[in-house]
């Protein structure tokens, strides 16, 4: 690795893609949305193999950006994506609109920008190894908002799966055996939160990213803050069936261990502010 590269990870649907968009509003940053596809890694890969592959791929991304060459990105639409999920629904769940593919950026002078890579489950599962090589920042969000999103998007997490996490963290995989999808979602949320809390790494709340118009994110990454347009949390409404599912695990949600990040009052407030369609 020729220079310092920074990583972002976070709980899925906690605003990590939005964080990339905010960072790409800076002239001194290139932030990539999930350019690494864990599914391309051979099944025989160990955790160390996976980290070695990540390092090599990031070096390739960096070289391609400097030379203005095409490279793989989590959304072939470019760097401006702020939400990989659209508003179109099918079978009651919102559909993915981001499509993996190649993008090409104008050549950048070497060392004229910070390269920041975002992956959620993959980086979290491999965090104990990655942390020795990269600066990492973690993004979290109130469990009520996260779980509501998980219940209504067409992603594996909707069915209680987090493929890269289960593949590279055997303990997580075994803890999910025999559970229904809702209980699996609770375990997965707690896995992310527990991993972050015990990592000693900077943790940023989505709510604080919004409130500070991204300046909280800038600071955590060691970047000078910039002024941006005012950010607001996007309000969504949920049908009665989704609310019923959420309320069926209400006690378990309040028992989640979130450290000092989300108190029971924070969770209760989010629960009371749910808009029902």
Q: Is residue 1 part of a domain?
A: no
pLDDT, tens only, 200-235? 999 999 999 999 999 999 999 999 999 999 999 888
With a pLDDT cut of 70, the percent of the chain lying above it is: 99
Q: Is residue 10 part of a domain?
A: yes
Secondary structure element (H or E) that encloses residue 275, with its range: strand 275-276
Contact assessment for residue 86 and residue 96, using Cβ atoms and an 8 Å cutoff:
yes
Instruction: For residue 167, give the nearest of 9, 10, 38 by alpha carbon.
Output: 38
Q: What is the pLDDT of residue 22?
A: 97
Q: Has residue 1 got a pLDDT over 50? A: no
pLDDT, tens only, 92-140? 899 999 999 999 999 999 889 999 999 999 999 999 999 999 999 999 9
Strand 71-73 with 203-205, pairing: unpaired
Q: Which domain holds residue 99?
A: 6-276
Q: Has residue 261 got a pLDDT over 80? A: yes
Long-range contacts of 180-183 (CB under 8 A, 24+ apart): 182/245, 182/248, 182/249, 183/249, 183/252
Contact assessment for residue 31 and residue 116, using Cβ atoms and an 8 Å cutoff:
yes
As for how many domains the chain has, the answer is: 1
Instruction: For residue 191, give the nearest of 221, 215, 213, 161 by alpha carbon.
Output: 161
Q: What is the pLDDT of residue 38?
A: 97
What is the CATH number for 150? 3.40.50
pTM over 0.75: yes
Q: Is residue 221 part of a domain?
A: yes
Provide the 10 A C-beta neighbour count for residue 223: 18
Q: Is residue 123 part of a domain?
A: yes
Provide the 10 A C-beta neighbour count for residue 159: 11
């Amino acid at each position: 690795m020729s220079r310092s590269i920074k990583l972002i990870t976070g709980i899925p649907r906690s605003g990590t893609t939005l964080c990339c968009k905010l960072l790409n509003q800076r002239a001194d940053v290139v932030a990539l949305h999930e350019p690494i596809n864990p599914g391309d890694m051979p099944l025989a890969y160990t955790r160390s193999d996976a980290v070695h592959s990540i390092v090599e791929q990031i070096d390739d991304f960096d070289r391609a950006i400097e030379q203005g060459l095409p490279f793989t990105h989590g959304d072939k639409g470019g760097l401006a994506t702020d939400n990989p999920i659209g508003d179109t629904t099918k079978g009651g769940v919102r559909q993915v609109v981001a499509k993996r593919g190649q993008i090409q950026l104008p050549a950048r002078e070497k060392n004229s920008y910070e390269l920041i890579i975002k992956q959620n489950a993959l980086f979290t599962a491999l965090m104990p190894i990655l942390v020795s090589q990269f600066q990492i920042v973690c993004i979290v969000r109130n469990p009520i908002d996260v779980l509501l999103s998980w219940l209504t998007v067409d992603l594996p997490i909707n069915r209680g799966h987090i493929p890269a996490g289960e593949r590279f963290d055997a303990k997580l995989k075994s803890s999910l055996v025999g559970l229904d999808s809702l209980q699996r979602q609770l375990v997965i949320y707690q896995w992310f939160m527990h991993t972050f809390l015990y990592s000693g790494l900077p943790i940023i709340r989505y709510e604080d990213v919004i409130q500070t118009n991204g300046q909280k994110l800038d600071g955590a990454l060691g970047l000078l803050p910039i002024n941006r347009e005012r950010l607001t949390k996007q309000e969504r409404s949920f049908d009665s069936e989704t609310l019923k599912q959420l309320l069926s695990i209400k006690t378990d949600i309040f028992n989640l261990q979130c450290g000092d990040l989300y108190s029971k009052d924070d969770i209760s407030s989010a629960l009371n502010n749910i808009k029902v369609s």
